[in-house]
Amino acid sequence: MALFGTTKNTKAKAKKDKVVLKHRVRTAPNKEGMAHEIIRAPWFSEKALIVTEKGIYTFDVSPRATKAFIASAIKEIYKVEPRKIRIVNLPGKPKTMRTKRGTGTRAARRKAYVYLNKGDSIQFG
């Protein structure tokens, strides 16, 4: 039989038709207190404070946090519905240490930009 023949394999088609794909649906965590593990702290930098006027809030989040987890944590902690979430991975930077070792690296971090609907706001305090 040729590798690229013109005959069709009907058995393989019959097997493909019977296969039912099951998609995994990820849900947000339901445990109490899990939200504070996902959202570690608000991110206070000059740039982050400027964009809060536009309804965009920045948070330091867990490295394993997904957009769905972050959205549910924002709902649980701040009682507001996020419109959109963007996640940024920040690499660890090499820094000079004043020791014998010479150089080291800062830890890699992850931050999330949370976009809120007009009229919604988050009060830190």
- pLDDT tops 50 at residue 17: no
Q: What is the pLDDT of residues 80-111, one digit of tens each?
A: 999 999 999 999 999 998 888 788 999 999 99
- In which domain, by residue range, is 97 found? 31-116
Residue 12 forms part of a structural domain: no
Q: Is pLDDT above 60 for 44?
A: yes
Q: Identify the sign of the CA torsion 92, 88, 77, 72.
A: negative
How high is the pLDDT of residue 29? 55
Is 13 among the domain residues? no
Residue 19 lies in a domain: no
Considering the chain, what is the average pLDDT of its residues?
84
44 lies in a domain?
Answer: yes
pLDDT at 116 over 90: yes
- pTM of the model as a whole: 0.71
Residue 9 CA to residue 123 CA, distance in Å, equals 64
